[in-house]
Structure 1
């Protein structure tokens, strides 16, 4: 029987994405985040900055983390289709992206402000709603649906 004091609370589920048009260019961020009780929320905004798609994805994650701090969230399960973001923040030993190093440090600090966090890479076709929100923030039409490869399910 699990110890109720040390058991991880049910997590908030987050899907985040970012777009840059052109790349680099104007950035839009999008996210879908769901409370442990099932209540869904969305975020779709254009930033007042220009940058690359990696920066847009990172800013999308940071915007959601800042929002969840105000909602007293403690446990997070974050899904992202950007492997660079997941590698940089997930603890893998990878060469840092110098231009984004300060933003990655800010994101790490935000992640550490929660009791339990897990970052998980997902294929693009499983992140469609967050992608659509990021693109909508910039007025970009939706991408055609990605077709999953046989090994990505």
Structure 2
């Protein structure tokens, strides 16, 4: 199982954005700071999730436990619905990419437990 911590940061809202992804899998730790184009912070959270899923594909894990401090993202995935059209399109993509794994769990965590992913997202903004 891979523990996947994700976060997004945005300089302005909307503005240039970044995704932070911290993965613990098979005794290894993987850190990714991914620059994103200009978008809202909430949209960047969905992109962070997609980027994390793509990274997990490369690691060949079968079970993901995704943790995020974004209630909008976690609630949308749990309900399989997003009112916002852009979020809904991204949600469909998350759902489709998740099908290749045996299990994908998504859990909301407080920001205080997401420091590594937050730091990586802020680092991505500086690139």
TM-score (ref. length: structure 2): 0.92
Q: What is aligned with 1:82? A: 70
Distance 1:112 1:43, change over 3 A: same
Secondary structure of 2:112's aligned partner: helix
The 4+ residue runs of structure 1 with deviation greater than 6 A are none
Q: Is the 8 A contact 2:81 2:88 kept in 1?
A: no
Deviation at 1:94, TM superposition (A): 5.4
* Cα distance per residue 1:89-147 (max 9 Å; x no partner): 12x2755222322111101111222111110000111101101110111129xxxxxxx
- Coordinate RMSD, CA, aligned: 1.6
* Cα distance per residue 1:21-65 (max 9 Å; x no partner): 101111101010011x22000000212x21111111111111111
Q: What is aligned with 1:61? A: 49
Structure with the larger RCO, 1 or 2 (CA within 8 Å, 6+ apart) = 2
Q: What is aligned with 1:108? A: 95
1:28 aligns with 2:18: yes
Which structure shows the higher strand fraction?
2
The unaligned stretches of length 5 or more in structure 2 are: none
Which structure shows the higher helix fraction?
2
State the alpha-carbon separation in 2 of the partners of residues 24 and 132 from structure 1.
20
The unaligned stretches of length 5 or more in structure 1 are: 1-10, 141-153
Secondary structure of 2:104's aligned partner: strand
* Cα distance per residue 1:8-32 (max 9 Å; x no partner): xxx1000000111101111101010
1:122 aligns with 2:112: no
State the alpha-carbon separation in 1 of the partners of residues 50 and 103 from structure 2.
16
